[in-house]
Amino acid sequence: MVAIADARKRKVIAVWLLLGVFMIVVQIALGGITRLTGSGLSMTEWEPIMGFLPPLNEQEWLEAFEGYQQIAQFKYVNSHFTLSEFKFIYFWEWFHRNWARFIAVVFLVPFVYFWVKKYFLKEMVLPLILLFVIGGLQGFIGWYMVKSGLDESSLFYVSHIRLSVHLVTALGLLAYTLWFALKLLIPREKLLHDTKTRNIFLFTIGVLVIQLFYGAFMAGLHAAKWAPSWPKMNGYWIPPNFESYSLVNDPLGVQFVHRALAYLLLVLVIFAAIKAWKLAQKTGSRLLKNLSIWSVVFILLQVLLGIFTLLAVPSIVKDEFGLYETLAEFHQIGAMFLLMTLVTIVFLIRGKGKTSLA
């Protein structure tokens, strides 16, 4: 009876964590919309508690708009904005911040309930504490990022370096939460053992993490608009004077690296998937077989979405959320699903021991 009760507790906690995974995916997607609509600097104050309330009357809206008018982004990019246009970008930043608050509530309230009802097994406590620490750190990094664009003499947009840290930390939280849930859902007898295959996937994830940083660099620098063509960049395989470009701060340098990493990842994921497929055939693991297929599907979609996003870059600046922005958002969502698939495969394949039948 004790074992049955513990199994039930593990399942309940796992479902709670998977709800968290879903909410984090939505939050990262909202972050992408916030970035693509240029909404990130619309809220110039950070109020962790009372900030959940939007302006409630015309006077409060005018005061919020006046705060936005003091920063460089309004003065040099959006000086044509009306109050109505400001309300549009304000909504997305407000929604993004409030969804983060909602995530905190969904994690904290059940945590207290489960703690009181003694649902947590001893080995769950430390990972849960770490989960809250990472979540709190992510909120701080978000505000640190926003601050980079609020000074009148500062940037027109947030720092692309801070943006990349904010995004990759969020994806790290996503992967960690998923891993924790998998530990509670997948029994030990379902785990496989193949050190070589696991290491291939670990290396692939390492390259993917670098690519995620460069994806954020692309977004923060609006680098797609500097070479909206494929397969060449403005007619060149390697941009002229490439040796003079910064691979971190120059839009063309960043886009070149982002493209190169995409091709490398395509090869790595397909190679790793073949290895996983062979292991699945050997062990009879249907889960691993399905995951290997999905990893190839997601990397192919990512490459195609990246290409079509480049080709959809508008020739003129537009305020509406058009084809380019839609494709860019799906490109970011695809990256999340690719990451989760690879992380699940790594969880499934252990690095030591004999290969076990699933």
Over residues 140-173, the pLDDT tens digits come to: 887 777 776 666 555 567 788 988 999 999 999 9
Check residue 172 and give its pLDDT.
95
pLDDT at residue 53 above 70?
Answer: yes
Domain co-membership, 167 together with 197 = no
Domain co-membership, 155 together with 217 = no
pLDDT at residue 317 above 60?
Answer: no
Domain co-membership, 268 together with 351 = yes
Of 25-29, 120-124, 168-172, 283-287, the poorest mean pLDDT is in 120-124
Nearest residue to 342 (alpha-carbon basis) of 303, 304, 296: 296
Rounded Cα distance between 322 and 25, Å, is 22
Owning domain of residue 264: 188-358
Domain co-membership, 306 together with 227 = yes
Domain boundary (185, 218, 248) is at: 185
- Mean pLDDT within 182-202: 93
Domain co-membership, 180 together with 195 = no
Higher pLDDT, 70 or 150: 70
Rounded Cα distance between 248 and 24, Å, is 27
pLDDT at residue 79 above 50?
Answer: yes
Rounded Cα distance between 305 and 298, Å, is 10
Domain co-membership, 55 together with 158 = yes
Q: 353 in the Ramachandran plot: left (φ > 0), alpha (ψ -120 to 50) or beta? A: left
Higher pLDDT, 43 or 47: 43
- Mean pLDDT within 179-197: 92
Rounded Cα distance between 32 and 115, Å, is 34
157 and 73 Cβ atoms separated by less than 8 Å: yes
Check residue 355 and give its pLDDT.
47
Check residue 42 and give its pLDDT.
85
Q: 117 in the Ramachandran plot: left (φ > 0), alpha (ψ -120 to 50) or beta? A: alpha
Nearest residue to 34 (alpha-carbon basis) of 215, 201, 219: 219
* pLDDT-derived band at 127, boundaries 50, 70, 90: confident
Residue 69: φ, ψ to 5°: -70, -15
Domain co-membership, 235 together with 353 = yes
Residue with tokens 């460069």: 214
What percent of the chain stands above pLDDT 70? 91
Domain co-membership, 131 together with 223 = no
Domain co-membership, 245 together with 212 = yes
Domain co-membership, 181 together with 215 = no
pLDDT at residue 251 above 70?
Answer: yes
Rounded Cα distance between 338 and 89, Å, is 29
Domain boundary (185, 209, 242) is at: 185
Rounded Cα distance between 166 and 182, Å, is 24
Domain boundary (138, 155, 185) is at: 185
pLDDT at residue 119 above 90?
Answer: no
pLDDT at residue 223 above 90?
Answer: yes
Rounded Cα distance between 168 and 153, Å, is 27
Rounded Cα distance between 347 and 188, Å, is 11
Question: Count of domains in the chain?
Answer: 2
Domain co-membership, 4 together with 152 = yes
Domain co-membership, 193 together with 149 = no
CB proximity list for 353: less than 8 A, separation 6 or greater: 193
